[in-house]
Structure 1
């Protein structure tokens, strides 16, 4: 496995599973600057993971 394909695989699965992390954040509430910062960082990481994992071969239907 090449480094590029490993990074793509990690990006795909991180982008797929990361939305689960939104639930505890929403249940706790975004009522402070710290929680807003966590939410924004989570959004940026999620977007980057989706971009990096976009070319994952298992993500396309045959």
Structure 2
């Protein structure tokens, strides 16, 4: 059970995390989410990672 102060703090945090409008990018690959994922290990080569980037530029 949350206290009144804890509930108010959670509501305030939710407002801080909310999106406010849109972000416009003028150039491809200027802004986008990126993730790195460990795939495997290959003898003689070492660790293999996959990097993923999603371009958010509207066309």
Q: TM-score, normalised by structure 1?
A: 0.35
The structure with more helix, counted as a fraction of residues: 1
User: Could you state the TM-score of these two structures normalised by the residue count of structure 2?
Assistant: 0.36
